[in-house]
Amino acid sequence: MTTHHDRAANPLREGLSNRPMPQPCTVVIFGASGDLTYRKLIPALYNIASDGDLPAALSVVGFARREKTDDSFRNELEEATRKFSRQGINEELWGSFRERIFYHKSEFGDLEGYERLAQRLNALDSARNTRGNRLFYLSVAPSEFGGILEKLAAVGLNNPAEGSWTRVIVEKPFGTDLPSAQTLNSVVNHVFREEDTYRIDHYLGKETAQNIMVLRFANAIFEPLWNHRYIDHVQITAAEPLGVEARGPYYESSGALRDMVQNHLLQLLCLVAMEPPTDLTADSVRDEKVKVVRALRPMKPEDVAHNVVRGQYTNGAVNGREVTSYRAEDRVSPESMTETYVALRLHVDNWRWADVPFYVRVGKRLPKGGTEIAIHFKAAPGVLFNRDSAVGPNVLVIRIQPDEGISLRIQAKRPGASVKIEPVKMDFHYGTSFGKASPEAYERLLLDAMSGDATLFARSDEVECAWRFIDLIEQAWHAHPSPPPLCQYPAGSWGPAEADALLERDGRAWRRM
């Protein structure tokens, strides 16, 4: 059985309020020749260095199968960083940053490759003073997790030296259903302790997602209204104008519900619906998020038919360009029943949210892209102004991407002699308000992992609770004798008409982004 040495005590952490500086370490990226390393991980680490937050004693080791040298790997990463860094490249800074990067060629199943990795990490500790701290990043398919973790344990790389730490970051998808998620949790926790396991969801690294807690709990004008007495309903939308691109096989095995709702959108729902944590440490915050998932009203097959709409895009036009149907995409079955759109009416069965519906939708090939949360407050009494004029409710919109920010729609009198009321927006944009671009999501998440702060990472019980809820819907679609229909919608539209009807039955309508 795999064992764990005692870890050095972490410095006092206060979660979102006061994260310590990241500690010297070596970041080992498995699957380093993949797209994520080039587009996100290395540019994120470079941006952190540019902001002055990266420890001087930090090394990066790319672990992959392809034949490369340290220099060829560095040159490829330089080209990618010039393209994808949010702030370009400073030649002097890149010159020193590239010397931190190394390449290690090995097959994932080659034990000797891990033995050589252990030797190289020990040498880097001595040469670069990384103190034996290691952060393993599994940027690979979930089918590779078990083999990599087993080999790490076999050569003792999961057990740090006294006074050091070892952590693992696991990329999504973390399972495809509850049994597979439980199996993966078991595999990971056999090698790494839960507190050393970081399941990454890049949505939680986005600046506005982090700001939801601050908006709620640091502003006295919002939290008193954040309940069923004042909020009519909540809408969460994730829209994409893109199709499945080259991801046909993956999407065929996943679909919109498992690809986006189970992780990203349920995470956002939790931040909106959670109770105030006792403090800002990782487990206090995650305890409250788990309570929300557990409070989601489970759905029987008949509930799924009434509360969930699944759709698939057909031929159409997006941004003036003709696009093909999902079933005509590369490596997609011409008879596919995979959903590219899903809309759900959810309920959080607790006191705060009694009878407040949460409408969640995600879709591909929609007219525009973006992710937002819209809090629709109840309408003001019609005694004075609402009686004879169409005065809409107040809406608080939290824009997750793009153009991160927050806006509040209020009613105001139009200038003139007559009383004409029109909605106006009070708008806050991160870029203009603070004079600089928001950090990329991976920057924050990598910093947190290096600092030992798991607040923005999913815990095993949270992942399993989310799958338990999602599996009921999947079973109604695929295992029930009479599944609800798969609705069609033309590419470039806002989804199937049945999704509009989902809200119209309640006297509501989707907000147009």
What is the tens place of the pLDDT at every residue in 388-431?
556 678 999 999 888 888 999 887 777 877 777 777 788 888 76
Coil vs helix vs strand at 321:
strand
Q: Which pLDDT value is given to residue 120? A: 95
**pLDDT grade, residue 10 (50/70/90)?**
very low
Highest mean pLDDT (candidates 137-141, 401-405, 494-498): 494-498
Q: What value does the mean pLDDT of the chain take?
A: 89
What is the tens place of the pLDDT at every residue in 321-335?
999 999 999 999 999
Domains of the chain (ranges, CATH numbers): 15-171 (3.40.50.720), 204-382+461-493 (3.30.360.10)
* Active site annotation includes 264: yes
Mean pLDDT of the region 475-481: 88
Mean pLDDT of the region 217-234: 94
Nearest Cα neighbor of 463 from 172, 30, 203, 196 is 172
C-alpha to C-alpha distance for 196 and 199, rounded to whole angstroms:
10
Residue at token pair 């908006």: 215
The answer for residues whose C-beta is within 8 angstroms of residue 229's C-beta and 6 or more apart is: none
The answer for residues whose C-beta is within 8 angstroms of residue 246's C-beta and 6 or more apart is: 330
Q: Does the bond joining 402 to the residue before it have cis omega, within 30 degrees of 0?
A: yes
**pLDDT above 60 (res 13):** no
Which residue type, as a one-letter code, is found at position 404?
E
C-alpha to C-alpha distance for 114 and 144, rounded to whole angstroms:
15
Q: Which one is catalytic: 264, 429, 478, 480?
A: 264
Q: Which pLDDT value is given to residue 12? A: 35
**pLDDT above 60 (res 17):** no
What backbone torsions phi and psi does residue 469 show, to the nearest 5 degrees? -70, -45
